[in-house]
Amino acid sequence: METAPSEEGIVVVYTGKGKGKTTAALGIVLRAVGHGQRVGMIQFIKGEWYYGELTSSKRLEPEFEMIAAGKGFVGILDDDHSIEDHRSAAQKAVSIAKEKLTSGNYDIVILDEIHYALNLKLITLADILDIMRSRPTKTTLVMTGNYAPKEVLEIADLVTEMKEIKHPYHRGIKAKKGVDY
């Protein structure tokens, strides 16, 4: 028995310690753009390093808009920003997320790495819950990142946990262009 597609949006969470959360969200982008839907993605952590979706996302315009609002990975590798800089960027991302979500211009809004931002104390749980409350019922909200809090999981309609079983990093294999970034 086939059911008709619902006009109501849902809340989707991709979390867990395994790889693939952002990739799963980008899969939604491909499907949505294929149906002529508009998608906005705000990245809470990524921002200053080059990674493939910065270029490939432009090929999906105008249906897909990606905003890299972060200052890069916090406290690792070449991070030369203060925690205050990261916090300020994350707070700006919260504002952008609310604006995009309530604008009525998007069928889907993706908040990439928002749960990492929470875990790093760049934003608060109240920020995330406020964003969730501001979601128009017709808009789907997708949130990614490890450490999704139970309050978010309880509200979400779809939760997928990525579980690492094996990773090449543990064998000394560095991140691969086109696969990892």
In a domain, 86, yes or no: yes
Confidence tier at 100 by pLDDT (50, 70, 90):
very high
Residue 113 identity (one-letter amino acid): E
What's the pLDDT at 78?
67
User: Which among 163, 125, 168, 167 is positioned nearest to 16, based on CA atoms?
Assistant: 163
What's the pLDDT at 48?
65
Q: What does the pLDDT look like over 79-90, one tens digit per residue?
A: 566 778 889 899
Average of per-residue pLDDT across 48-62: 85
In a domain, 180, yes or no: no
In a domain, 129, yes or no: yes
Beta strand segments in the chain, E: 11-15, 39-43, 64-68, 108-112, 140-144, 158-161
In a domain, 20, yes or no: yes
In a domain, 17, yes or no: yes
- Is the pLDDT at 106 greater than 90? The verdict is yes
In a domain, 51, yes or no: yes
Mean pLDDT value across the chain: 90
pTM, to two decimals: 0.89
Confidence tier at 168 by pLDDT (50, 70, 90):
confident
What's the pLDDT at 64?
98
Q: Which residue has the higher pLDDT, 173 or 122?
A: 122
In a domain, 100, yes or no: yes
Domains identified in the chain, total number: 1
What's the pLDDT at 169?
80
What's the pLDDT at 180?
78
CATH number at residue 90: 3.40.50.300
Under a CB-based contact definition with an 8 Å cutoff, are residues 136 and 101 in contact?
yes
In a domain, 26, yes or no: yes
Percentage of the residues of the chain whose pLDDT score is greater than 90? 71
Domain containing 56 equals 11-162
